[in-house]
Chain A
Amino acid sequence: MKAAIIVFPGTNRERDMAIALKRVTGQAPRMIWHHETDLGDTDLVVLPGGFSYGDYLRCGAMAAHSPIMGAIKAFAQKGGHVLGVCNGFQILTETGLLPGALLRNANLRFLSQDCYLKVEAENTPFTHKWKKGDVFRTPLAHGDGNYTADIATLERLEGEGLVAFRYADAKGNVQADDAASNPNGSVNSIAGILSENKRICGMMPHPEDLVDPLMGGEDGLPLFQGLVEAVVR
């Protein structure tokens, strides 16, 4: 699998993502500066975490208008695989490649902690190494991760199986009004969603930071292993 990571001014988790991708592909992904207009030959585009443009105006809003975004939209339209994590998820919603928006965390503070994710959609490129209902641990680190969308959009996401991951407790119980298991207050505890063709995934937590037993576990690894298999297929 050939992967490309997009780097904006203020992106800061591109190296974490590169480590995770290299672990499953054996090769370092390409870093693409946001001023570029061509993605080159790639199977996967990743929008990593960080504070693109300092989160000024609105998280992801400025990056959504970067020169590279045209190429990413074209790549997506042709059925390309796109993963957006944290700020990358925010950028995907700002570009309209994914619906909804990320608001300030419900407690109005930055949150950096482990959370548990319950897998909701199986047999997608991002989740097929898990079964529906599986629970895995992952770090999260954000100030604006409180997912929201209008009712019609939510009904569509839920109805069409486009919710990829929900925040849960360690046993997999989902309770949207429980700050312990749904720390940022996301509607329906939504942590990650998929595009209609299930080839674009946006999520707030950082599976790329939990791919090595030395750093506390490999719970995030199946996402990347699954992507390699799906993209090669």
Chain B
Amino acid sequence: MNKPVTVDESLAREFGLTSEEYGRVLSIMGRTPSLTELGVFSVMWSEHCSYKSSRKWLRTLPTKAPWVIHGPGENAGVVDIGQGYAAIFKMESHNHPSFIEPYQGAATGVGGILRDVFTMGARPIANLNALRFGSPENPVTRRVIDGVVRGIGGYGNCVGVPTVGGEINFHPAYDGNPLVNAMTVGLARKDRIFLSAAAGVGNPVVYVGSRTGRDGIHGATMSSAEFDEDALSKRPTVQVGDPFIEKLLIEACLELMATDAIVAIQDMGAAGLTSSSVEMAGKGGVGIELDLDAVPQREPNMTAYEMMLSESQERMLMVLRPDRTDVARKIFEKWELDFAIIGHLTDTGHIVVKHKGQLEADIPLDPLAEQAPIYDRPATPPKAPAPLEGVHAPLSLDATLLKLVGSPDLASRAWVWNQYDSTVGGQTVRRPGAADAAIVKVEDTDIGLAITTDCTPRYCQADPKTGGAQAVAEAWRNLTATGARPLAVTDNLNFANPEKPEIMGQFVAAVEGMGEACSALDFPVVSGNVSLYNETRNPDGSTTAILPTPAIGALGVLDDVNKAVGLGMQPESEVVLIGETKGELGQTIWLREILGQEAGAPPPVDLAAEKRNGDFVRSAILDGTITACHDIADGGIMVAAAEMVMASGIGCELESPDSGIRPEAFWFGEDQARYLACVADGKALCERAQAAGVPARIIARSGGNDLILPSGVTISAARLKTAHEAFFPTLMGN
């Protein structure tokens, strides 16, 4: 800093610490901290790095299963997928930066999650992203979509990792606070996984990758506060990404990981050099000393404070075997990346930072971690939603269907997908939209990975516990509908200000619902991220909170990828409806798009039925009985059937339900745990289902190119597609 800064409580508050937290800093240090030390405390104790509001509840989630190799606590979760391979995956948010600067916010979100995965030794093989945008009518939304989609594509396409799936929702609650949740799946040999715990006093600490600049200083703190009208003035806190450097970093790290040089490795993500050095030393129970003069710098005259807090992208920190530093240096020189020994491990248990001959920081690591604040914030349990009453159907079934398939949440996402390279790598078995989950093959094996992201925020808003359970159940169902065995979950919990009891109540209830579903479905959480303070302060002083959005990323495995099925309608088949239909219309897309209401309770989630129905469907896919399968989600049975018809161009004739349920409730209700399945012999499948205690009935027969409704009204696949595909190009202007 050019002018001296006084470190005191008021500066601490500016850095996002409370008075009480600053008191804790004083007692740990036994003196007034230096500016750099205060910076370290403030980012390490930020919501983003410390999970201080959420940790108590995250601990309640199930995290173990025989196939889990590493659960939460590492850079990403690791599961065993067979034949000596492990899948490494995580989802992470970049919400605030993506509103301030959509292109770079989204791009660096992709870059950050890629590093979390390859830092563990995995080659990234798939990207997905769960996006929530504001109302399509809001002019800002277009700017945000354009930037976010270009940013995701610009980064992912260049690094050569296929973007194979994801989801998009629209709601005015995201007008000033869109959500960008990026997920990466990587592949490693099970016995070649790299962890972050530092070891070996005296071992060199090595910095590789891009140089450090002044970008992103205090990014972690920014993402731990709500937005106000000055949000856009925070643009300098957003980092700038360089996917070309990231690609080189991936290749160089993987090349180095094939040697025995690395003791520990961690990417420099949020809070950059601070969090990577503190976490590596802390996990290893050692001390660390850094000499910032050796840090590769992009700008002159950077201070210790700036270097420790910078969030410049594409950087990694490693502890190497001292006798292997030359091997490592050569690899990074080949890839034309910076490589610098910037410190060493010590036995002091402190992080010591020196710069230009001055001691800039000396902090004991144990208290920094152990005395980090944890809050049990007051939580008001959400009110049970009032039941839905007296709705009527104003439109015919065919007019309703055409409107629904063209509505923002159900319209074709091709405009978005077509800007993402989904085939690079040559292992993409099912591209976006071809199956309920993306399917990527493990090269040189028959193993397939099924991957999906899911959450229905309007359900979570109405009933957070049911919504949390539903998000997990839908992810499990989407994996199942391809034939995959669901293995594990990564969660990205996006909520508003946890200091408000009603928001904390949403969080607690959603986590409770998720936990129940994960337990019932043997579907542990192995990694995740929490993003709080997703709300906007309006000029009149009121605030707009996002819908509670616990996005679930999930991974399943197919031992023989050749057995995977897609969702496209198959010729000359009978279509069987699996699962019970009561006609749940609360919180449905139908209710919102046709009647303009967001009301009622979301469809209940029966986890026992979910498991029973899903296990039945999976077994019938794997033995070749079911030749196409689609889970019934937003829009209900008729939308699901229309999606199957649009996917393959093969039509079907729907049968009259004869169920005693009103037609709109039968066809557009969103009851859970249901699938549509194509089979050659529907009666045989129904008999088999009955024996397994699974409700099933024939609902349609395939053929021709039209969707024929029970009334006899015919809608061609082409007409459905026209209605389905117009939304994005119309909104975005091309």
Interface-lining segment among B207-215, B285-293, B320-328, B419-427: B419-427
Contact across chains for A10 and B158 when beta carbons are under 8 A apart: yes
CB closest chain-B residue, reference A211:
B426
A143 to B156, CA, bound (A): 13
- Given known A56-B244, A111-B418, contact A12–B428 (CB-CB < 8 A): no
The B222-262 residues at the A interface (CB cut-off 8 A) are 242-245, 247-248
Q: How large is the interface on A (under 10, 10 to 19, 20 to 34, 35 or more residues)?
A: 20 to 34
CB closest chain-B residue, reference A214:
B429
CB closest chain-B residue, reference A19:
B426
A-B pair count, CB < 8 Å, reads 93
Which residues of chain A are within 8 angstroms of B243 by Cβ–Cβ distance?
A: 51, 54
The B691-718 residues at the A interface (CB cut-off 8 A) are none
Partner of B244, one of A16, A33, A53, A143: A53
Contact across chains for B423 and A9 when beta carbons are under 8 A apart: no
Q: Does A120 contact B (CB under 8 A)?
A: no
Contact across chains for B159 and A109 when beta carbons are under 8 A apart: no
A13 to B162, CA, bound (A): 11
A54 to B417, CA, bound (A): 22
Contact across chains for A113 and B418 when beta carbons are under 8 A apart: yes
What string of 1s and 0s marks CB contacts (under 8 Å) between B159-175 and chain A?
11000000000000000
Contact across chains for A51 and B158 when beta carbons are under 8 A apart: yes
Q: Does B403 contact A (CB under 8 A)?
A: no
Contact across chains for A54 and B242 when beta carbons are under 8 A apart: yes
Q: Does B651 contact A (CB under 8 A)?
A: no
CB closest chain-A residue, reference B154:
A110
The A128-144 residues at the B interface (CB cut-off 8 A) are 139, 141, 143
Contact across chains for B158 and A55 when beta carbons are under 8 A apart: yes
Which residues of chain A are within 8 angstroms of B157 by Cβ–Cβ distance?
A: 51, 110, 112, 141, 143
Contact across chains for B426 and A209 when beta carbons are under 8 A apart: yes
Q: Measured between C-beta atoms, what is the minimum distance from B731 to chain A in Å?
A: 14
Q: Does A145 contact B (CB under 8 A)?
A: no
Which residues of chain B are within 8 angstroms of A16 by Cβ–Cβ distance?
A: 423-426
Q: How large is the interface on B (under 10, 10 to 19, 20 to 34, 35 or more residues)?
A: 35 or more
CB closest chain-A residue, reference B247:
A10
A55 to B418, CA, bound (A): 20
A49 to B247, CA, bound (A): 14
Q: Does B734 contact A (CB under 8 A)?
A: yes
Q: Measured between C-beta atoms, what is the minimum distance from B515 to chain A in Å?
A: 37
Q: Does B681 contact A (CB under 8 A)?
A: no
Q: Does B562 contact A (CB under 8 A)?
A: yes
Q: Does B489 contact A (CB under 8 A)?
A: no
Contact across chains for B423 and A206 when beta carbons are under 8 A apart: yes
CB closest chain-A residue, reference B562:
A214
Q: Measured between C-beta atoms, what is the minimum distance from A205 to chain B in Å?
A: 11
Which residues of chain B are within 8 angstroms of A206 by Cβ–Cβ distance?
A: 423
Which residues of chain B are within 8 angstroms of A2 by Cβ–Cβ distance?
A: none
CB closest chain-B residue, reference A12:
B160
What string of 1s and 0s marks CB contacts (under 8 Å) between B424-456 and chain A?
111111010000000001010000000000000
Contact across chains for B419 and A112 when beta carbons are under 8 A apart: yes
Q: Does A232 contact B (CB under 8 A)?
A: no
Q: Does B335 contact A (CB under 8 A)?
A: yes
Which residues of chain B are within 8 angstroms of A54 by Cβ–Cβ distance?
A: 158, 242-245, 247
Q: Does B336 contact A (CB under 8 A)?
A: yes
Which residues of chain A are within 8 angstroms of B245 by Cβ–Cβ distance?
A: 54
Contact across chains for A9 and B441 when beta carbons are under 8 A apart: no
Contact across chains for A215 and B421 when beta carbons are under 8 A apart: no
A110 to B561, CA, bound (A): 30
Q: In the complex, which of the residues A33, A110, A113, A208 has the most CB atoms of chain B within 10 Å of its own CB atom?
A: A110
What string of 1s and 0s marks CB contacts (under 8 Å) between A79-102 and chain B?
000000000000000000000000
Sample 16 A-B pairs with CB under 8 A, ordered by A number.
A9-B244, A10-B158, A10-B244, A12-B159, A33-B334, A51-B158, A54-B243, A54-B244, A54-B247, A56-B244, A110-B157, A110-B420, A112-B420, A112-B423, A141-B424, A215-B441
Q: Which residues of A contact B (CB under 8 A)?
A: 9-10, 12-13, 15-16, 19-20, 33, 35, 49-51, 53-56, 107, 109-113, 139, 141, 143, 206, 208-209, 212, 214-216
Given contacts A50-B160, A112-B420, A215-B441, 12 further A-B contacts (CB under 8 A): A9-B248, A10-B158, A10-B248, A12-B424, A16-B426, A20-B426, A107-B734, A110-B419, A112-B421, A112-B423, A208-B426, A214-B441
List 10 tightest A-B contacts by C-beta distance, closest first: A12-B160, A54-B244, A16-B426, A141-B421, A51-B158, A209-B423, A139-B423, A112-B421, A113-B418, A110-B419
